């Protein structure tokens, strides 16, 4: 662990208290000048700290491997964790070293500068106020239907967030709190030729962003847990997610039943029973049609009934975007 990560971990451990430079110097047997240099670096990384007269404190809890590990009782999810200060994308980072990483490895970053969303969109992850994490799976079954894993991850995430708030799922991958998107999931597969090397489940959570961190445009659809219910601990959410994900995933692999997590997706759905615009992102004119959302079927598809001709269709997540009458929901 680098000195910077060690100091950040200590500040996190002391949150919300301020820590003096001399305490840091004593704690890690270094001189105050070195402490000053590291704190300068932390400030230039845009981490959420307040520095005043040789005292420093965090504005909110930040990602910490030790804080996650101390809460984990899983057998493989999160058993290996890697934490980066700033990388383009945790999903891409795993892709580049997929062969060398173990199943269940969790890659985290305080900040991503080229975060990716579904349908080729960008995902913004400002430093220290968001969770950017990717989980690597290496299933023995090469033919596993990994499109269902986004639904499984959504069910695990909603369950993990329950300690803070009630969340809903906007199929296929958005997590909603009080009508605003607070988290998103991007599941990708990495192949060598036709061999499935791994499945990467990327999760971004707007944990401690302030209202002012969102652009006027983004504010209309995006929110954060802090805005809704005050400061949250990202490590607690990650540990709870890892536990729930491992439980659901293991059950699924042994029983081949998807209903135990799909039932949760259905009961937490922000869409089922309501009318929405369905946008076919693959059609040249981004064709819009209104439909009543009926359910999620056993393969994770969204079953909709179009209002113009009463026909029923099962939508797959790679093609469609769903919009409400007046915008996002």
C-beta closer to ligand BTN: residue 117 or 324: 117
Q: Least distance from C-beta 209 to ligand BTN, angstroms?
A: 13
Nearer to ligand BTN, 38 or 151 (CB): 151
Integer Cα distance of 98 and 92 in angstroms: 10
Which of these, 321, 320, 289, 319, lies nearest to 306 by C-alpha position? 289
Binding mask 153-192 for ligand BTN (x = CB under 6 A): --------------------xx---------xxx------
| 8 Å CB contact between 117 and 49 | no
Segment holding 296, helix H or strand E: strand 288-296
Contacts of 220 (CB under 8 A, 6+ apart): 327, 328
If the CB atoms of residues 123 and 241 are measured against ligand BTN, the closer one turns out to be: 123
151 binds ligand BTN (CB under 6 A): no
Which of 64, 90, 258, 269 is the binder for ligand BTN (CB under 6 A)? Answer: 90
Residue 124 makes contact with ligand BTN by CB under 6 A: no
Q: How far is the CB of 9 from ligand BTN (least distance, A)?
A: 21
Residue number, 125 or 235, with CB nearest to ligand BTN: 125
The yes or no reply on residue 81 touching ligand BTN (CB under 6 A) is no
Task: Work out which of 15, 21, 123, 164 binds ligand BTN, going by CB under 6 A.
Answer: 123
Q: What is residue 191's three-state secondary structure?
A: strand
Structure token digits, residue 241 = 């997610």
> Is residue 199 a contact partner of residue 149, using CB atoms and an 8 Å limit?
yes
> Which stretches of 114-249 are assigned E, i.e. beta strand?
131-137, 168-170, 174-177, 180-192, 195-205
Nearer to ligand BTN, 125 or 258 (CB): 125
Q: Does 319 sit near ligand BTN (CB under 6 A)?
A: no
Kindly provide the b/e burial profile for residues 239-265, where b requires at least 16 CB atoms within 10 angstroms of the residue's own CB.
bbbbbbbbbbbeebeeeeebeebbebb
Backbone angles phi, psi at 241, to 5 degrees: -65, -45
State how far the Cα of 169 lies from the Cα of 36, in Å rounded to an integer.
Answer: 44
CB of 114 to ligand BTN, least distance (A): 7
Task: Verify binding: residue 121, ligand BTN, rule CB under 6 A.
Answer: yes
Find the binder of ligand BTN among 64, 74, 89, 264 (CB under 6 A). Answer: 89
Q: Least separation, in Å, of the C-beta of 76 and ligand BTN?
A: 20
Please list every residue from 194 through 223 that binds ligand BTN, using CB under 6 A.
202-204
From the CB of 300, what's the least distance to ligand BTN, in Å? 16
Q: Is 117 in the site for ligand BTN (CB under 6 A)?
A: yes
- The dihedral built from the CA positions of residue 77, 80, 83 and 87, taken in this order, carries a sign that is negative
Write down the least CB distance from residue 183 to ligand BTN, Å: 8
Stretch that binds ligand BTN, among 63-71, 77-85, 87-95, 291-299 (CB under 6 A): 87-95
The strand pair at 106-112 and 81-87 is best described as parallel
* Neighbouring residues of 96: CB distance < 8 A, sequence distance ≥ 6: none
Q: In this complex, which beta carbon is closest to ligand BTN, that of residue 186 or of residue 262?
A: 186
- 224 closest CA partner among 238, 207, 241: 207
Q: Helix, strand, or coil here: 61? A: coil
Judged by the rule CB under 6 A, the positions of this chain that interact with ligand BTN are 89-91, 112, 115-118, 121, 123, 125, 132-134, 173-174, 184-186, 202-204
């Amino acid at each position: 662990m680098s000195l910077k990560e060690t100091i950040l971990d200590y500040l996190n451990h002391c949150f919300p208290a301020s820590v003096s430079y001399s305490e840091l110097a004593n704690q890690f047997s270094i001189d105050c000048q070195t402490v000053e240099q590291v704190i300068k670096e932390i400030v230039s990384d845009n981490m959420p700290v307040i520095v005043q007269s040789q005292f420093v404190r965090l504005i909110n809890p930040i990602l910490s491997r030790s804080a996650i590990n101390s809460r984990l009782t899983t057998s493989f999810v999160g058993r290996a964790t890697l934490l980066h200060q700033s990388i383009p994308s945790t999903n891409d980072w795993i892709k580049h070293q997929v062969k060398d990483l173990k199943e269940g490895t969790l890659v985290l970053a305080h900040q991503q500068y080229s975060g990716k969303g579904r349908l080729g969109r960008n995902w913004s992850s400002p430093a220290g106020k968001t969770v950017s994490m990717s989980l690597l799976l290496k299933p023995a079954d090469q033919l596993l239907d990994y499109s269902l894993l986004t639904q499984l991850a959504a069910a695990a995430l909603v369950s993990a967030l329950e300690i803070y708030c009630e969340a809903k799922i906007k199929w296929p991958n958005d997590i909603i709190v009080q009508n605003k998107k607070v988290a998103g999931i991007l599941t990708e597969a990495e192949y060598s030729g036709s061999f499935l090397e791994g499945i990467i489940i990327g999760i971004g959570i707007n944990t401690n962003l302030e209202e002012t961190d969102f652009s006027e445009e983004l504010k209309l659809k995006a929110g954060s847990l802090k805005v809704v219910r005050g400061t949250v601990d990202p490590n607690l959410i990650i540990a709870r997610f890892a536990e729930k994900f491992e439980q659901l995933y293991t059950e699924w692999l042994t029983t081949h039943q998807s209903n135990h997590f799909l039932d949760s997706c259905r009961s937490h759905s922000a869409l089922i029973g309501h009318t929405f615009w369905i946008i076919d992102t693959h059609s040249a004119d981004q064709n819009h049609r209104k439909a009543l959302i009926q359910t999620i079927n056993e393969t994770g598809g969204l079953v909709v009934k179009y209002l113009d001709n009463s026909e029923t269709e099962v939508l797959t997540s790679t093609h469609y975007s769903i919009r409400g009458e007046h915008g996002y929901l």
